[in-house]
Every structure is written in structure tokens, then in C-alpha cells.
Amino acid sequence: MALDSLGLRDQLFALPEQMLAASRRLDLTGDLPAHDDIANVLLLGTGAAGWVCDLLAAVAGPFMPVPVVVHKGFEPPSFVDSSTLVVAISASGASPETVASATTSVAAGGRLLAVTSGGPLGALADAQAAPTVFLPVAEEPIPTRARIGALAVPVLRSLEQAGLFPGASDWIASAVAQLRIRRDELTADGNAAVDLARSIQGTIPVVYGGGVAGAVAADRWKVQINQSAKSPAWTGSLPDVVHGEIAGWGQHGDITRQVMSLVLLRHDDESPEVVEQFEVVERWTEEVMAGVHTVQAAGDGALAQILDLGLFGDVVALELAERAGIDPGPTPTIASSPVVG
């Protein structure tokens, strides 16, 4: 039996049901601004909530009639005013960066939408009579990285209700369907994620994705390997990699091929140029890596494909943790930090 004190594996595999529950349960305390009163959207979050912000921007941003900006620091952008929908996401409600940026944004006139379980962010939303989605109380501790559905879906549905992202419910349904298919594959004996974990075990993974969607998926892989397997990992995204980082593989191949593996995350929305760049990257790195591996996304739409790649990476990280005899759930380095909320 693998060491898993928080039941992280079961929590991660429950993502499709978590998304369905969040979609059906959407109950805002307060009213959203009218469509015509919103000129831009600011997404605030850090850690796993920050990744959810990146996911939302990648999925909804290209289809929205107003700009979407992700911010993960203490001071929000100076453009925030009464026409800004400020979406603040913090499972604990105590993330210092998110609370600080939300507070400053509200003072500048921003219209707040909070997704939280309470804490200072919940208190700020209550004081502003701002629309808020309160996360359900969990019977057992759930790491925020296992609550991405509960954090993302209410925002997608809220954007749909505000008329900014029509069709969000269909995207959610497509993602749920694909996640169930992928889950069935990844719970079978000898599945592809187990094989990949076996191949990259003992090396430092470098994960490349294409375009915005691929970059978001790669970031999920990195953080899950960091937190579940307690191991380093790095990411890059195309096309940027071929304009800089690729030059770094020109030397020391005798070292890198012993300690580094490359994972290429592919999806259906890659431009023809990025497809060609992936072919070049694979040729240029195959002799300086312990192995070059490809994972192909499945599903209908960007939300489905990013989460599909993400779930695959979740399982790879869990398998790496199991092989190292590491408990994937707790992150004591982060939990003991005085600067993390």
C-alpha cells in the first residue's frame, strides 16, 4: 500500500465529480456587475489558485470581449477601476498576496468576486457585499492543488452568467467527460503514466508545452512533481523555447543525458508553426536527454485538454512519490513557511 496520508490520489481522481458538484452548486452571495459595466477582468491568486487563474485566462480569455489579466503579487495593476471585475481566488482566504491585491483593488473601485472558504478574503467580500462563492467544508484536509475544479468552475459559470463567456457550461461538461475517460485509463494496471514515471525516475524532468494551453499544463506538471514527489522539475513553452532556452542544450550533453528527461505535452490547438518547432526541439534534444517523451492531450476544447494533460501529470507525480517512498500529500516546507498563507 502506497504512503498517502491525505488520500491525495483519491482526491485528484475525484476531479470530474468535484467539477460537476461545483457547477450544480453555484450560489453567489450578491449580484455580479452587468455585462456592459465590465471593461476588463483581473484574476488574483497564488500557488494552486494562481494556476487556476492561468487556466481560466487560457480557456476563457480568447473568447471574452474584454481583456483578462492574471496577477499573483501584492500590488494590483494600476488600471483597476470601477469597470474592473476583480476575481480573487483563495481556498483558505488568507493568501497574503491575494488579500493585499484584492483590498487595494476594491479601494480603487474594482468590483470584487471572491472564491474562498472565508478568512480575510471572505471578510473583505462580506464588507463589500460582493458576490462570493464559498467552498464547501471538507470533512478531511484537502490540499488546494486537489481543489482546482472547485476553484475554477464557479468562475467559469459566473463569467457565463455575466455574459462574458457564453457556453462555459458546455466546456465544463466536455472536460468532465474526458477526465472520466482518462481516469479509467490511468487507474488500469500498467498504464501510460506509470510507464512514464518509471522512465523518468531518477532524473530531473523538463516539461515543454506549446502555446498558452501547453504552458499552463506544463506548469501543473512542474508543481505536482515538486509537491507530490518533492523533486525538482522545470518547464518551458514553445515558441519561446526555440528563441532562447534551446541554446542551453548545446553543451554538457554527457551530463544532461544522465540526469535530465524531457516531456513534451501536445494538444490539438497548436499552430502549424508550433508543431514544426516541436519537431525541431525533439531532434535537437534527443541526444542530450536521458529520454524524450510525448504525452498527447485528448478531449473537446481547451478546458478538457489542459485538465486531461494535468491529470496525467498528477498521476506521474504520484507514481514518482510512491517509487521514492514519499508521502505525496503534505508539503512541510510550505506549511512551515511564515510567508505563505
Query: In CATH terms, is domain 8-166 a member of 3.40.50.10490?
Result: yes
For the domain spanning 188-324, the CATH number is: 3.40.50.10490
In angstroms, the CA 7 to CA 30 distance is 35
Phi, then psi, of 182 in degrees rounded to 5: -65, -40
The model's pTM is 0.96
In angstroms, the CA 222 to CA 224 distance is 6
Task: Give the Å distances, CA to CA, from 233 to 118, 122, 276.
Answer: 33, 34, 25
- What are the boundaries of each domain within the chain? 8-166, 188-324
In angstroms, the CA 180 to CA 194 distance is 18
In angstroms, the CA 85 to CA 83 distance is 7
pLDDT in the model for residue 1: 53
Is the fold of 8-166 the same as that of 188-324? yes
| 113 touches 130 (CB < 8 A) | yes
Q: Pick from 22, 99, 24, 87: which is nearest to 61 by CA?
A: 87
Query: What tens-digit pLDDT sequence spans the chain (341 residues)?
Result: 579 999 999 999 999 999 999 998 877 777 899 999 999 999 999 999 999 999 999 999 999 999 999 999 999 999 999 999 999 999 999 999 999 999 999 999 999 999 999 999 999 999 999 999 999 877 778 899 999 999 999 999 999 999 999 999 999 999 999 999 999 999 999 899 999 999 999 999 999 999 999 999 999 999 999 999 999 999 999 999 999 999 999 889 899 999 999 999 999 999 999 999 999 999 999 999 999 999 999 999 999 999 999 999 999 999 999 999 999 999 998 887 777 76
Q: Coil, strand, or helix at residue 335?
A: helix
